[in-house]
Structure formats: C-alpha cells, structure tokens
C-alpha cells in the first residue's frame, strides 16, 4: 500500500485529490493539510511514502516544507504541484529534494502513474521539462553556481553522462550520442547518483547544473 499525504491550501483541490486516490486499491490517503507547517508536522507523524505538495501555502511555503521533510524523512518522496509549467520555484523545489513536479491540471491517470513512479525510484522530469529547468537556471543572473563537493570524485565519463542527463536527454538518447549501450548509461548514471548521494535522477540534474556541467 502506498501512503500519500496531501498538502494544498485549497480545500476543493484536497477533496478532489482524496476522492481520486481513495478509489485506487494500492493507494491510501493518510491525511491532508492546508499549510506548510502542518505538512511538516503530519509528515513526521505519518511518514508517508509520497507527499503531493503545493508551492504557495500559508505558514511556510511548499519549498521550505519540502526541505524540512526531506531532511527528516529520507524515504519520503515529494511531488510538487504547480499551476505553472515552469516558475521561479521549480528549480528550488528540486534542489531541496523534490522528486519532480506536476501541473495541477495533469490528467488523473498521469497523476496516479506519477505517484507509483516516484515510489519505484523514478523522477518526474521529462526531457522537455528538464531543458526548461536548465534554461531557467542558466538565464537567471541571481543564481550562483556552487559545485557539489563530490563532483570531482566522478570519472570523466560519469561527469559527461551526468551533464547529458542535465541537458534533458534520456538514457537511450545518451547511448545514441555516445555510441554505447543504454545499460552502460544506466550503470554510469547509477554510479554518479551513488557518489553524489542523489536521491533520484531529478536531484542528479540539480547537482550537475550547480557543478557547471
């Protein structure tokens, strides 16, 4: 059973999400809250597998709530919900440990698949979305690049592949570009994530961008 916590300041959104999830035999809603501080408190109490987290909430916003929850609950995955496909908060959400993000008008079937995907260790970053996240970061003059302290421990090939992941390429696309097998790409991605202690592919993207890849 996948245990899900809902955090959104709109009661109708929470009600709709609860109705959707409770119809699924493998999903259980362990609670819903309307502000960031309540999300942190209830997450600590219930230790859900997945949190659907709104960005703009009273108290503390979804970014800060995500940071606090990730610091305490290593196994909990957070999906950020946003009204806009890319906004100023998305990179920050990924940086502090979110496994990805979804639009609030995402189709129900896609939302259900996303919950199951992050529990299985995946990340909710399609290549096109990843490229826009990268562009948002690169184009922002206020961003300060701070390399990951373990970036130098990656081999040249691991750094190369991590950089291609940060460009938004899939494993198959990386394999085609480097003329290697997708299995080899997966191995290098896995090693890079292990060395950098990345929670998932989304955080690997963040670390690579911050390290100037």
Please state the pTM of the whole predicted model: 0.75
Whether 143 shows a pLDDT value over 70: the answer reads no
Whether 213 shows a pLDDT value over 60: the answer reads yes
Whether 104 shows a pLDDT value over 90: the answer reads no
Segment 79-83 shows an average pLDDT of: 85
pLDDT of amino acid 103:
80
Whether 47 shows a pLDDT value over 90: the answer reads yes
pLDDT of amino acid 153:
96
Domains for the chain: give ranges and CATH numbers.
Answer: 2-124 (3.40.50.2300), 137-210 (1.10.10.10)
Whether 48 shows a pLDDT value over 90: the answer reads yes
pLDDT of amino acid 87:
56
Segment 67-82 shows an average pLDDT of: 92
Q: What is the 3-state secondary structure (H, E, C) of the chain?
A: CEEEEEECCCHHHHHHHHHHHCCCCCEEEEEEECCHHHHHHHHHHHCCCEEEEECCCCCCCHHHHHHHHHHHCCCCEEEEEECCCCCCCHHHHHHCCCCEEEECCCCHHHHHHHHHHHHCCCCECCHHHHHHHHHHHHHCCCCCCCCCCCHHHCCHHHHHHHHHHHCCCCHHHHHHHHCCCHHHHHHHHHHHHHHHCCCCHHHHHHHHHHCCC
Average pLDDT, the chain: 87
């Amino acid at each position: 059973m996948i245990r899900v916590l809902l955090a959104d300041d709109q009661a109708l959104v929470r009600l709709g999400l609860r109705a959707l999830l409770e119809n699924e035999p493998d999903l259980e809603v362990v609670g819903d809250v309307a502000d960031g501080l309540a999300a942190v408190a209830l997450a600590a109490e219930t230790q859900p597998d997945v949190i659907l987290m709104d960005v703009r909430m009273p108290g503390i916003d979804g970014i800060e709530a995500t940071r606090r929850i990730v610091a305490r609950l290593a196994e909990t995955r957070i999906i950020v919900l946003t009204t806009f496909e890319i906004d100023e908060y998305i990179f920050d959400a990924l940086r502090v440990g979110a496994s990805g993000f979804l639009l609030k008008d995402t189709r129900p079937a896609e939302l259900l698949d996303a919950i199951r995907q992050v529990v299985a260790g995946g990340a909710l970053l399609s290549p096109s979305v990843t490229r826009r996240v990268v562009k948002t970061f690169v184009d922002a003059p206020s961003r300060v690049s701070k390399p990951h302290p373990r970036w130098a421990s990656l081999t040249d090939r691991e750094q190369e592949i991590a950089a291609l992941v940060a460009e938004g390429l899939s494993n198959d696309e990386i394999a085609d570009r480097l003329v290697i097998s997708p299995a080899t790409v997966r191995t290098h991605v896995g090693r890079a994530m292990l060395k950098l202690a990345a929670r998932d592919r989304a955080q690997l993207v963040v670390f690579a961008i911050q390290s100037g890849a």
